Amino acid sequence: MVSEEQNQSQQVPNKGRPSKGVQEQTFGSYTSYWPLALAVALCVLLVGIITNSIVLGGIGVVLTAGAIIAWGLERRR
């Protein structure tokens, strides 16, 4: 009868390499400036709404849409 310790000591370590067919994906954070750009664009939009400025509101809408689209299309590393 083989004890558990002997069974574990006989296993070959993988040395950090994934086995065949297994792909490791990291879900860590990455640096992106688009959330900040979206926050600034929303501030411009809200100031335009509060001041009833069509020009400032229009600029805010364009910047907000651009930031959302760019953030969605951004490549993740």
Give per-residue pLDDT as tens, 7-65: 555 555 556 665 666 666 666 667 889 999 999 999 999 999 999 999 999 999 999 99
Is residue 43 in some structural domain?
yes
Is residue 64 in some structural domain?
yes
Is residue 25 in some structural domain?
no
Is residue 13 in some structural domain?
no
Is residue 54 in some structural domain?
yes
Is residue 2 in some structural domain?
no
Q: What is the pLDDT of residue 75?
A: 82
Domain count, the chain: 1
- Domain boundaries, position 54: 32-77
User: How far is Cα 38 from Cα 71, in angstroms, rounded to an integer?
Assistant: 9
* Residue 48 contacts residue 39 (beta carbons within 8 Å): no
